[in-house]
Amino acid sequence: MTRALAMISGGLDSILAARLIKEQGIEVIGICFKSHFFNEDSALKMTNQIGIQLKVVDFAKEHFKIVKDPKFGYGKNMNPCIDCHSLMMNYTGKLLDELDADFIITGEVLNQRPMSQNRSALDIVKKHSGFSDKILRPLCAKNLPPTEMELNGLVDRERLLDISGRGRKVQMELAEKWGIKEYPSPAGGCKLTEPNYSRRLKELLEHIKEPKDKDLELLRYGRHFRISSSAKIISTRTKVEGDEIKKYLGEEDWVFFAADYNGSMVLIIGEPSEEDIELAAKITGRYSKGKDEDSIKVKYGKFKSLLNNNYIWIEPATEEEINKYIIQ
């Protein structure tokens, strides 16, 4: 039986491409990638809707290398889409023998994204994947030269599509036809496409060339303040953020709370000075219910060692102080 590996991003296009090939009686196995900047959660939901299995590949270490130094540059933010897609295709190509599959399919649509899905970009991705003769783009195949799979009869070209451009009408009609009810917006998924996250990542790399996994994960949460080359303050926005952040904290990290008011949990990541501790306490006050008080008490200490709490009375930070340190 013919078998294809479908690169599943978690978005609508990739799952439609998989379903389109499945309609031809071809077995489809989904391949999803996870890194510091995206995960498999959406891909799992999408593959469940069309009844195909999903293999998750963790390529975080290799992916981070291209994020720091992409051969083909970035998109609007810190997203190295051409390099990223090429790397994903290379990984998927290496799974062809292991999974006894015949070719690779993707959900790319010609000219849907002006920088990463124009004809030149699609050709670059294909060439640098190392498996150019095994890649089929079912949603826009009729806009492209026939592939080996179409020429040798593995795939019926007449049953492929000729979608082009940024419109979503055809995709939404197919989703309705095939009962695909839940799917994310086209812009969702990768943190590297988000302006705020990208600014934080760029700023982090300016100070720490080889950040730890924790440093990258913490970029997802709260408000960030750079206080020195080796230390940063993070202020949570919600209790949910606070609960998530605690998963990444170690005994070396400092935690701050307003003693008598509800408000943000504030952290110092790195080695703080006495001045840094005072500033973190002032930021704690600024993002608490006591922000308008002349002075409030803040408790602080090393994470998991709060039985040895220290206390400091401070005046909550002013807007000018916040703007001086916050990473925009």
Average pLDDT on 229-257 reads 92
pLDDT of the residue at 115: 61
Whole-model pTM above 0.85? yes
Q: Please give the mean pLDDT across all residues of the chain.
A: 92
Confidence of residue 304 (pLDDT cuts 50, 70, 90): confident
Cα 1 from Cα 139, distance rounded (Å)? 22
Instruction: Express each pLDDT in 86-134 by its tens digit.
Output: 999 999 999 999 999 999 999 999 877 656 667 777 888 888 889 999 9
Q: Which residues 6+ apart lie within 8 Å of 83 measured at CB?
A: 66, 70, 71, 72
Residues in the chain: 328
Provide, rounded to the nearest whole percent, the portion of the chain with pLDDT above 70: 97
Instruction: Express each pLDDT in 164-201 by its tens digit.
Output: 888 889 999 999 999 998 888 765 679 999 999 999 99
Residue extents of the structural domains in the chain: 3-190, 194-325
Q: Which residues 6+ apart lie within 8 Å of 154 measured at CB?
A: 2, 26, 102, 103
Give me the architecture of the 3-190 domain, per CATH. 3-Layer(aba) Sandwich (3.40)
Cα 64 from Cα 36, distance rounded (Å)? 8
Confidence of residue 5 (pLDDT cuts 50, 70, 90): very high
Average pLDDT on 261-271 reads 92
Q: Give the distance from CA 240 to its chain's centroid.
A: 19
